[in-house]
Structure 1
């Protein structure tokens, strides 16, 4: 029975990946990159491909991290059963994304969001840009101003650029408190500094609309440099890679070549992780690290098993946490409001605990271990932890419909080459939402994603207005 379950799981997931992979590739070739296809791709990676590799590579499994140690307490049969369940949930995601009502009848779209698309002229997009230019420029300038001011204040507060670049490492992690390095008054500034990542993409959009003034080029260059500085301070390897990739993919080459280039970038990412580890050690401690690559499979099973591991061990973790009763859907605004303001209303910041922190505490309790690092709450666990499968199924429906609403707007910009840099950025940022779906984290640390999606809705509104008055 044990071998049979594992073999069946591998066959079902293998066929599922092959079929859905072909459909998504066809969709991308026809419709371009969309948030839905990125969300599905990363979900398949974390919830199907990684655990399949885990099953097939028993000798290479990590035994050091809390989440991998807890996975090891499950049998291969239990892992296989969870893989089959994940296949069903991802299939449901795709179904809820693809289904729509037309003329009172349910229609399943398998070849893209639309079978036909109205073509718009370059003149139309110029008019759309003119109509939205003021709002775009104001948004970019505000993000640049906040980003510049926040970095200057933090650099001054800690005593220089070197200490600023080390600040991220010194204040990140379990048991580390930013107030031990800087005044608590600067904590809101750390949160606000994230918005600098919005500016270079909006300025690039403006430049591609033939707005090549010296002032605009200067602001783009300044925002680009400040973004790199922020990312080095933040010391997240994936955010750095996701920042550069849109600019690389925005090169004016045919779409098929872009997809090939994207595939190549995905392959070379893992070796770069070790180099970045060593760089961050140098920025923090002043010497080049000696981290070495353990190979593709070893790195994969060390770094990316926790989303599946979270869902695999959902029962064990919920026994420690307890169901959240949808609290995490509504309390996230309190996590981004400064504690000084919350105190005015008698609310203590310490009473607001994110799902990621609760997940980490649960692992620590179950494994009877000290905290050695945070374990984020992935998409499946975050929503399951609210009301079980009821909240998870509702969340799948709501999130898929929201992504489809975003993609309807993105799809309308298919022939707007200038706006592609913004779309690429949004789609790639979807990677970081599957493995860390905590609302408090998204609105605090992924503020650029929230703002850029708002920009898409804003420009789409102007696009429809121009279209209406052009008829």
Structure 2
């Protein structure tokens, strides 16, 4: 069903689509992973194994099927809905404006990097404390209510945003300054992504850079063929990289000896098993309370400075990934268990919450794909477009709004860039 839906959308909308990426992730975590563990019982995680022989697995499968239909409905409405007036690009890209934004966010981001390195006791110590950095646990460094420096850590993603701006400007007008800053901010971005402990995020960063580097102004047919080959190669390299990097991050995070003996498909499937495991838990337990849509707005309080909230007597809200982890393990573990799109909805208001959440998500994907399609394979903006499309599609797996706005807000800022830059004429916007 997923493949049929993707093919149908591809006929109407050419190029990269957040919907296609989200659909494939959806099929992976709610379809491929469960089927794999049914066939390979020896490698099934314990949390999934206990559900075998019960009707909970069928309930999860049914809800996933219904959820995808709801996603299609929301997407269909979103991709057809016009918000605002469409204007043909009539102005030249104001490089001075985006240059100021790039340098400003670069300096703000560096403040965050210095704060993180300072709190962790140095550049190398930060790498050895990946899980603490990734989990953003204030208690593992210094009290956020008494130390404002802790809040400054949250500025790190501004560096990632500034890199993509410099990269865009270097592709539009390859000056020495733009190229130098793009290279410098890329190096720091790679360090930040490594600190966040995300193998997948490293692969995505490299994919956007490689595709952006190799793409040029070819005719549509040649360009489409080239993109297909590039994506195929990057997917294969990405899968291998995610598997190979796992022991390295296990060593940096937990001090485990580096060993590549247990690597393989089973290891990869286990890394993508948490969404299915989440749904098995919420559908087989009733020892938790619904959150009644609070996760759609409480992230604002979570992102506010703790030292300010403590002064005015406001208590920070508990993020969903913390709530989900404690419910399943009776304690908080480093990094926590991410919440997928179905789990996010179910924790809000049961099945009704799932349907509301996923229809809204589908609508947003439709609006994003409508925006992306308006750029007609613009090779100058392609790295930004790819990053936005991938991360918006990945919300299927990582749906915690608090985490998105805390460590992935560079994607939100890049999305705003794509919205605001529509009125400008950019070389490569069309084949002409």
The answer, yes or no, to whether TM exceeds 0.5 is yes
Hey, what does 1:62 align to over in structure 2? 45
The 3 A distance-change label for structure 1 pair 330 and 99 is: closer
Match of 2:65 among 64, 87, 110: 87
Hey, what does 2:327 align to over in structure 1? 362
The 3 A distance-change label for structure 1 pair 243 and 80 is: same
1:315 and 2:290 matched: no
Tell me the alpha carbon deviations over residues 243-270 of structure 1, each in whole angstroms, 9 at most, x when there is no partner: 1111122222622232233233223333
- The alignment partner of 2:177 has SS state of helix
Is the radius of gyration larger for structure 1 or structure 2? 1
- Offset at 1:129? 4.7
Q: Does the 8 Å CA contact 1:379/1:434 hold for their aligned counterparts?
A: yes
* Cα distance in structure 1, aligned partners of 2:122 and 2:353: 47
* Cα distance in structure 2, aligned partners of 1:200 and 1:270: 25
The 3 A distance-change label for structure 1 pair 282 and 390 is: closer
The 3 A distance-change label for structure 1 pair 249 and 166 is: same
- Offset at 1:301? 3.1
- The alignment partner of 1:31 has SS state of coil
* Cα distance in structure 1, aligned partners of 2:53 and 2:236: 30
Hey, what does 2:26 align to over in structure 1? 43
- The alignment partner of 2:36 has SS state of helix
- The alignment partner of 1:444 has SS state of helix
Query: What is the count of residue pairs matched by the alignment?
Result: 415
The 3 A distance-change label for structure 1 pair 344 and 455 is: same
- Offset at 1:271? 3.0
- Offset at 1:174? 10
Hey, what does 1:401 align to over in structure 2? 363
- Offset at 1:72? 2.5
Hey, what does 2:268 align to over in structure 1? 300
1:208 and 2:166 matched: no
The 3 A distance-change label for structure 1 pair 80 and 135 is: farther
- When the two chains are superposed, the root-mean-square deviation of aligned CA atoms in Å is 3.2
Q: Does the 8 Å CA contact 1:311/1:380 hold for their aligned counterparts?
A: yes
- Offset at 1:47? 1.3
Write the mapping of 1:190-339 to structure 2, written as runs, cut at 5 A: 190-209=153-172, 211-250=173-212, 251-252=214-215, 254-280=223-249, 289-296=258-265, 298-317=266-285, 319-339=286-306
- Offset at 1:177? 3.1
* Cα distance in structure 2, aligned partners of 1:370 and 1:358: 9
Hey, what does 2:219 align to over in structure 1? none
- The alignment partner of 2:156 has SS state of helix
Residue ranges of structure 1 left out of the alignment (5+ in a row): 1-15, 64-68, 107-112, 465-471
Match of 2:108 among 146, 154, 159: 146
* Cα distance in structure 2, aligned partners of 1:362 and 1:266: 34
Match of 1:186 among 133, 149, 161: 149
- Offset at 1:288? 6.7
Hey, what does 1:96 align to over in structure 2? 74
- Offset at 1:91? 2.2
* Cα distance in structure 2, aligned partners of 1:101 and 1:59: 43
Match of 1:52 among 35, 57, 60: 35
Tell me the alpha carbon deviations over residues 158-187 of structure 1, each in whole angstroms, 9 at most, x when there is no partner: 443212322333455598833259984322
Q: Does the 8 Å CA contact 1:271/1:293 hold for their aligned counterparts?
A: no
Hey, what does 1:109 align to over in structure 2? none
Question: Bigger shift: 438-447 or 269-278?
Answer: 269-278
- Offset at 1:223? 0.7
The 3 A distance-change label for structure 1 pair 337 and 84 is: same
Return structure 1 stretches of 4+ with deviation > 6 angstroms.
Answer: 284-288
- The alignment partner of 2:419 has SS state of helix
* Cα distance in structure 2, aligned partners of 1:226 and 1:97: 36
Match of 1:381 among 332, 343, 366: 343
Q: Does the 8 Å CA contact 2:203/2:241 hold for their aligned counterparts?
A: no
- Offset at 1:436? 1.6
Q: Does the 8 Å CA contact 1:274/1:292 hold for their aligned counterparts?
A: no
* Cα distance in structure 1, aligned partners of 2:332 and 2:301: 28
Hey, what does 2:5 align to over in structure 1? 20
- The alignment partner of 1:33 has SS state of coil
Hey, what does 1:469 align to over in structure 2? none
Residue ranges of structure 2 left out of the alignment (5+ in a row): 217-222, 427-432
| TM-score for the superposition, normalised by structure 1 | 0.79
* Cα distance in structure 2, aligned partners of 1:176 and 1:291: 33
- Offset at 1:240? 0.9
